[in-house]
Amino acid sequence: MNTSNLIQTVLIYALPVLFAITIHEAAHGYVARYLGDNTAYMMGRVTLNPFKHVDPMCTIVMPLLLYFATSGAFLFGYAKPVPVNFGALRRPKRDMVWVALAGPASNFIQAILWAAGYIVLTGVGMNELFFLEMCKAGVLVNLVMFAFNLFPLPPLDGGRVLAGLLPRRQAYAFSRIEPWGFFIVMGLVLIGVVGNYWLRPLIALGYGALDLILTPLSALFG
């Protein structure tokens, strides 16, 4: 593995990843607070300070080890989940859906902003490859986080959305998967189910949506 290429890749992705993780987690806490639960706010998690959300092992060490071990073929990591007391929400079953959707929604908005940045930079003749690659990385990172977190198994956001939409009895039965949900998701990732049948189609739809949303900007700077 080329060390200089690794360093360049880390530098390109560092800022987009920090923004993606920080805003994702803060969005959960902010919406939870708006809907009646102050748990995250009281614990200092409704903040854009990345150090409040980053887990040294799971956000930094584990992804780097996986990157080295697989020569860049597989990369995975996550931040400290924002604590939410769903019982404190004004309408717990409905509001948990909005709290869960807040994180992926923040990532899609960030993907729009990074893509807009790329269009503007290329439109004004910016040829500094580092910044252009960072914009592309920002789009990719956020679309991956958007799609992955919507996978419909707890403890991922998509699992909480599905639990909030199911009838109460079925939602309770479904939520009992959560203690094993992480291991189930990782197993599905490793055998290719999540990547081939969820991430790739949803990311492709995301890129298509970005093209549509940013058509006026592309025309302006084209």
Looking at residue 69, its pLDDT comes to 58
Residue 176, SS3? coil
DSSP class of residue 151? S
Tokens of 170: 């079925």
Helix segments in the chain, DSSP class H: 3-34, 39-42, 62-69, 92-123, 129-149, 157-165, 168-175, 178-190, 193-194, 200-213, 215-221
Please tell me the pTM assigned to this model: 0.92
Does 25 participate in catalysis according to the annotation?
A: yes
**Range 46-64 average pLDDT:** 78
Q: Say if residues 63 and 55 touch (Cβ distance below 8 Å).
A: no
Q: Any idea where the domains of the chain sit in the sequence?
A: 3-80+90-221
Which one of the listed residues 25, 128, 133, 178 is annotated catalytic? 25
Reported as a single tens digit per residue, the pLDDT across 110-145 is 999 999 999 999 999 988 899 999 999 999 999 999
For residue 68, name the pLDDT band (cuts at 50, 70, 90): low
Averaged pLDDT of the chain: 89
